[in-house]
Amino acid sequence: MSEKTFLAIKKVLDEKEVFYETLEHEPVITSEDAAKVRGVLLHVGVKAMIIKHDNGFIMITLPADKKINFDKVKEQINTKKIRLATLEEVKEIIDCERGGVPPFGFLFGIQTFADKGIANNKEIEFNAGLTTKSIRMKEQDYFKVAEKFAEVTFGEFTR
């Protein structure tokens, strides 16, 4: 588990003077489990997925109640073949376990693509490098922080 990633996220949010709350809870793997232990509706959660393509890896962030549309992703990055990164690849690239991947690809040098559906919430929640710690923050602050540190491409990546 990556306490280092959790601390890096907190440092970025503190430097940008963004208000957030840290939530500690039992270990979770799925978005459904996370929403249940946090006591929120599924769509409030943001899930981050690492995608392997011909030239490397990208991160797709989307509302937790949505499914990724691989055809839209392939079109956006102009490639014919993509797949979800394996658990081993995720661990190697970002040192996080399944269920702990935070939606800040810039922390790992990974280009981030954010689904516009995230903006439908006033607040969002996501696992922060660990399956036992989450962060709650305003949706607008998430985009502000993400854009500040990296090129984030916004689009529609769900079905």
Please check whether residue 47 is in contact with residue 31, taking contact to mean a CB–CB distance below 8 angstroms.
yes
Backbone angles phi, psi at 94, to 5 degrees: -125, 5
The pTM of this model reads: 0.87
Question: Which pLDDT value is given to residue 124?
Answer: 92
Question: Which pLDDT value is given to residue 155?
Answer: 64
Report the greatest alpha carbon distance in the chain: 41
How does strand 133-138 pair with strand 111-115? unpaired
Is the confidence at residue 154, as pLDDT, over 70? no
Question: Which pLDDT value is given to residue 93?
Answer: 86
119 compared with 69, residue with greater pLDDT? 69
1 compared with 135, residue with greater pLDDT? 135
Question: Which pLDDT value is given to residue 57?
Answer: 93
